[in-house]
Chains A and B, each alone.
Chain A
Amino acid sequence: MVQARQRITIHPSPFYFPATDYLTGEDTVDVGILLQILFWGIYAGCIYILLATGLNLIFGVMKIVNFAHGEFLMIGAYVTATVFYFTGINPYVIILFSMLALIAIGAVVERLCFRPILGTGKLNEIFLSIGLIYIIQNGAAVIWGDEWQSVKSPYEGITVPLGPLTIPLDYIIIMGVTAVILVGLYLFLKETKTGREMRATSQNRKGAMLVGINVERIDVLSFGIGCALAAAAGTLWVVSGQVFNPYMGSIPAVKAFAIIILGGLGSIPGAIVGGLLYGIAENGAAYFLGGVWKDAISFIILIIVLVIRPTGLFGESGE
């Protein structure tokens, strides 16, 4: 109750600090600054894109809403940090390990928690996610402690000059990794048999059952892949040198939801556009309005969009 309130609080968004770090001291707005904001926006957007794509995949196939998705990002971040701490190998390689680990964790969560309540009403899924948030956040706090932590990237301090900008090498690698993951996911969904089965299930679940697709297997798989994408986002979060703690996941996850509402449910291009838009809008707001507005601006955009179009920007059915 009252003691409880002091435990989980909304921490300032970790995206907050690159903007202030680099921008304080500048007193004029010129094209260089605007480009810089644009660039940070794209970089922040990468993490949102991965989260939102994972959510989209899960929603498309299972039609469930997992508000605890950000907790998988947090676990991914901690798995990466832990493996890095013990082995010291390049954190960009650990991304594969954390994705695999999260596929397994996601499959367990799907099997134990979401399958029993599939089809019992939308509100139940939201409430169940709240239970998951409690368990995962504080489980991580028990294992790893609840302090803010960070990991040093091997490429820290290396920058690439690009016109008027100086861009940290990490940001460029992160954008590249995100692009590779998205292309990989696209090829997987387009070319493999399992990917085609997934798309079939998301289009028509009953029809997929009729033609002999094991939809429960597809459920587990898509939930696992969705979690793996969140883990990739978590890893990228860690390697870019941002701080993390067990409670960091909720806000990015809710923003990812806002993104898929904007970009249209089940639409991966929509998630990419929405993610970039959000990243840029946030960094712009943090620069022009002040850091506290960073989180609020995403929800203000969301509310404005929903007032105009209750089904989202590109959403057709709105489920």
Chain B
Amino acid sequence: MNMNLKKDAWMRSITIGVIAIAVVAPFMLFNLYLLNLLSLMLIFIIFASAWNLLAYSGQGSLGHAAFLGIGAYASTLIAVKSGISPYVTIFLGAAVAAFVGILIGLTCVRLKEWFLAMVTFGFAIIVQTITVSILTPVTGGWDGIASPRLISPAIPGYQMIEYYSILAIAIASIVFIWYIMKSRIGLAFSAIRENELEARAAGVDPVRYRLLAFALSAYVAGIAGALEIHHIGYITPEIFGVDLSFWPITYVILGGLGTIAGPVIGTVVLTVIWEGLKMAGFTFSRYIIVGIILILTIIFLPKGLVDLPNQLPKWQEAMRKLRGKITGSPEKE
């Protein structure tokens, strides 16, 4: 009990510390490249958290870029056609993504893990194909279309305003997901994930909750997509690419699957590594290193970096035993 309280207090101070750093960071940097990077990182934290929410209900999607892209396209098109501010259309676009999420969820709810992975992967490709074929008159096909900026570049210091807007939305999204995970809904999600039969016996309707997970996750992913596109100012069908579907998975696995802090830690750590390697002049080998990190994490740290404090003593213990074995000294407890 005491331990838990102590841990909670720790967590609270760490959270406040991280938010404080995020708030003052732009004043320390004075560098537009890094500021842009921070904004994108925040957007990817939202995206990874959205993927994480779906995985929390036991459904691992391989095509989450579909929702990212649908949110982005919907928000852009609404903003362009009606002239409403992107601040409003972000949430409208995300609602469209959530609606599509429910539709694809309807086909997925009865499927096992990797059938679902296949369908979601294929869904991203189908959406991309539709975007560049039937919907070309609206979406501009492979060339893409310009998207209104979140803040007009005419305003001085617009990058700062944009950064703080994204930060606010990111914090709101994480709090939203945290609230869901801690509520009855989150409890139902993890019950379904652990054992569907028992969950059903306890009165949890798996189909309904899986659909809900799809809708919520698609909504948050749609917000991330719309934010990214309004931040960059241009959208192409590349947003549906395999690459963008795989990144959130890498981030979440590294940070810790099914936790609130996992996506945040994973995204920050991997972005720092990624940019560090870029500065060191790596190109293709960056991906190789990310792949090795991912595989090592899955094998040796299955619960992600969040679990590192618990794992370290075990590793030290194992190392000590190993050393004891080599030198032949008797083990003492």
A residues bordering B, Cβ < 8 Å? 1-10, 65, 67, 113, 116-117, 120, 122-128, 130-135, 137-139, 141-142, 146, 250-251, 254, 257-258, 261, 290, 292-293, 295-296, 298-300, 302-303, 306-307, 310, 312, 318-319
Q: Are A10 and B128 in contact (CB under 8 A)?
A: yes
SS class, residues of chain B in contact with chain A? helix
Report the separation of the CA atoms of residues A6 and B7 in the bound assembly, to the nearest whole angstrom.
42
Q: Are A138 and B284 in contact (CB under 8 A)?
A: yes
Indicate whether A296 sits within 8 Å of B113 (C-beta atoms), given known contacts A8-B241, A9-B238, A124-B302.
no
Q: Are A123 and B60 in contact (CB under 8 A)?
A: yes
Contact of A132 among B123, B232, B249, B291 (CB under 8 A): B291
Chain B residues lying within 8 Å of A302, measured Cβ to Cβ, are 118-119, 122
Closest residue of chain A to B111 (Cβ to Cβ) is: A310
Q: Are B298 and A258 in contact (CB under 8 A)?
A: no
Chain B residues lying within 8 Å of A1, measured Cβ to Cβ, are 37, 40-41, 44, 247, 271, 274
Q: Are B121 and A254 in contact (CB under 8 A)?
A: yes
| Cβ contacts A to B, 20 pairs, < 8 Å | A4-B243, A7-B287, A10-B128, A116-B299, A117-B299, A124-B298, A126-B60, A127-B249, A127-B253, A131-B250, A131-B293, A134-B287, A138-B284, A254-B122, A292-B132, A293-B133, A296-B129, A299-B125, A300-B126, A312-B115
Q: Are B294 and A131 in contact (CB under 8 A)?
A: yes
Report the separation of the CA atoms of residues A110 and B62 in the bound assembly, to the nearest whole angstrom.
22
- B107 is an interface residue with CB less than 8 A from chain A: yes
Report the separation of the CA atoms of residues A249 and B242 in the bound assembly, to the nearest whole angstrom.
13
- B288 is an interface residue with CB less than 8 A from chain A: yes
Report the separation of the CA atoms of residues A67 and B112 in the bound assembly, to the nearest whole angstrom.
16
Contact of B107 among A9, A113, A306 (CB under 8 A): A306
Contact of A141 among B121, B249, B284, B295 (CB under 8 A): B284
Q: Chain B nearest CB: distance from A9 CB in Å?
A: 5
- B199 is an interface residue with CB less than 8 A from chain A: no
Q: Are A126 and B107 in contact (CB under 8 A)?
A: no
Q: Are B133 and A299 in contact (CB under 8 A)?
A: no
Chain A residues lying within 8 Å of B244, measured Cβ to Cβ, are 5
Report the separation of the CA atoms of residues A299 and B112 in the bound assembly, to the nearest whole angstrom.
17
Report the separation of the CA atoms of residues A200 and B142 in the bound assembly, to the nearest whole angstrom.
50
Closest residue of chain B to A3 (Cβ to Cβ) is: B278
Indicate whether A258 sits within 8 Å of B122 (C-beta atoms), given known contacts A1-B274, A2-B232, A127-B249.
yes
Chain B residues lying within 8 Å of A312, measured Cβ to Cβ, are 115
Q: Are A310 and B291 in contact (CB under 8 A)?
A: no
- B169 is an interface residue with CB less than 8 A from chain A: no
Q: Are B294 and A127 in contact (CB under 8 A)?
A: yes
Report the count of interface residues on B (CB-CB < 8 A).
56
Chain B residues lying within 8 Å of A295, measured Cβ to Cβ, are 125, 129
Indicate whether A10 sits within 8 Å of B123 (C-beta atoms), given known contacts A134-B288, A303-B107, A310-B111.
no
Q: Are B119 and A303 in contact (CB under 8 A)?
A: yes
Closest residue of chain A to B127 (Cβ to Cβ) is: A296
Q: Are A130 and B133 in contact (CB under 8 A)?
A: no
Q: Chain A nearest CB: distance from B223 CB in Å?
A: 17
Report the separation of the CA atoms of residues A295 and B292 in the bound assembly, to the nearest whole angstrom.
29
Report the separation of the CA atoms of residues A243 and B129 in the bound assembly, to the nearest whole angstrom.
22
Q: Are A9 and B241 in contact (CB under 8 A)?
A: yes
Q: Are A307 and B107 in contact (CB under 8 A)?
A: yes
Chain A residues lying within 8 Å of B302, measured Cβ to Cβ, are 120, 124
Report the separation of the CA atoms of residues A5 and B68 in the bound assembly, to the nearest whole angstrom.
13
Report the separation of the CA atoms of residues A303 and B122 in the bound assembly, to the nearest whole angstrom.
8
Question: Residue-by-residue, is B272-286 near A (CB-CB < 8 Å gives 1, otherwise 0)?
Answer: 001000100000111
Q: Are A134 and B232 in contact (CB under 8 A)?
A: no
Q: Are A4 and B113 in contact (CB under 8 A)?
A: no
Q: Chain B nearest CB: distance from A22 CB in Å?
A: 22
Chain B residues lying within 8 Å of A261, measured Cβ to Cβ, are 115, 118
Contact of A142 among B44, B288, B290 (CB under 8 A): B288
Report the separation of the CA atoms of residues A299 and B288 in the bound assembly, to the nearest whole angstrom.
29
Q: Are B115 and A8 in contact (CB under 8 A)?
A: no
Chain B residues lying within 8 Å of A307, measured Cβ to Cβ, are 107
Report the separation of the CA atoms of residues A141 and B288 in the bound assembly, to the nearest whole angstrom.
10
Q: Are B291 and A135 in contact (CB under 8 A)?
A: yes
Closest residue of chain B to A298 (Cβ to Cβ) is: B122
- B55 is an interface residue with CB less than 8 A from chain A: yes
Q: Are B241 and A10 in contact (CB under 8 A)?
A: yes
Chain A residues lying within 8 Å of B315, measured Cβ to Cβ, are none
Report the separation of the CA atoms of residues A295 and B253 in the bound assembly, to the nearest whole angstrom.
29
